[in-house]
Amino acid sequence: MSQTPKTFEEWWVGSHYRRFVQREGVPLYEDSYLENLATLPLADWERRGGKAAYTRLGDQEINNLQIVEIPPRGELKPERHMYEAVMYVMSGSGATTIWQEGESKRTVEWSEGALIAIPLNAWHQEFNSSADKPCRIFFGTNMAQVINLYHNLDFVFNNPFVFKERYSCAMERDYTERAKHWNKRLFETNFIADIRNFALDAWEERGTRTSIMRLYMGNASSQIHILEVGEGTYVTAHRHFAGAHVIQIAGQGYELLFMPGDELNPQKRRKVPIGPYGAVAPRLNEFHQHFNTGKGPFRQLAFKGWGYTPTTITSRGEYDPTGAARSDNPYASAFKLRYDKEDLSIREEYYRELEKNGVSLRLEPIDQGPG
């Protein structure tokens, strides 16, 4: 007779994503913050070569990061998969070759700052073109969700289905020339050579010092954007579903993370430094707040699953720590902590940080960042 389960995990079907990462033989990083993806310890990765690690940030298994390092002149083995992926280059230079049965092959060259879409289930292979330097990249994916959902690695990594509308559309849009600025703040492309200096559109509604570009890449449903926060300002706290990832790509500052109910208690607010390539992926309803304390703007790359935008864009949900009316939109999932409801010590601490860094500009904070 089988024994009575004693732990929570034993009562449930285990996480196939966790099991998969174990099988890969590389580290799995948890929490809702990682200080630097560029220096995170990785382990040898037999399946594709190079070194790798995975994340399970924000206590969720929808979106995750796969961090990869390729040795000098090294290459990864080709793969294809039934999850969406965008690739970002943190250091080094190389190339990715992308192909799909019956269609033309494409090779995209990249270096630090590049963002590349990998069309769904298309083959891709990465190469390091340097003779003496490793390169480090990460993939933002919904791998965790897909592996848990289908529960079968053969289906996920060895699936013959050909998504013509994903690959062909991506190729037609091209990886270089035919990117399209559809309208203000929405850009369709499959490749940006350096997102650290890619032109964003002003977001006047959020103040004159903030800009954004939402990116539609690889005909995918994952949502991506780049947000820039000007010197001497910060984004007011907000919270939403778990799964959204923010990766700092330029500029320095700090993040505050706290759970609802703790916003008036400085001891319970977690303060962590943020600089390239720090990552923040808040837990369900965990408030998060970005503070730019450096000279010049700071920039963040965000990726999230499907379904965030309708709520974050239309929501005017506001969180009131006094417990009064919390939202005028019953469907709102993104609540922000309004500037005038914010604990004064948050602002005072920010001003002290600015003084320490010799930044004299102090402007009204941004009402709310997306994602």
Residues that bind Fe ion (CB under 5 A): 371
Nearer to Fe ion, 121 or 233 (CB): 233
Q: Closest approach of Cβ 116 to Fe ion, in Å?
A: 24
Nearer to Fe ion, 50 or 243 (CB): 243
Q: Closest approach of Cβ 119 to Fe ion, in Å?
A: 27
Nearer to Fe ion, 32 or 252 (CB): 32
Nearer to Fe ion, 113 or 371 (CB): 371
Q: Closest approach of Cβ 125 to Fe ion, in Å?
A: 33
Q: Closest approach of Cβ 111 to Fe ion, in Å?
A: 29
Q: Which residue is nearest to Fe ion (CB)?
A: 371
Nearer to Fe ion, 278 or 371 (CB): 371
d(CA 300, CA 287): 17
Nearer to Fe ion, 112 or 286 (CB): 286
Nearer to Fe ion, 98 or 257 (CB): 257
Q: Closest approach of Cβ 45 to Fe ion, in Å?
A: 30
Q: Closest approach of Cβ 204 to Fe ion, in Å?
A: 20
Q: Closest approach of Cβ 286 to Fe ion, in Å?
A: 9
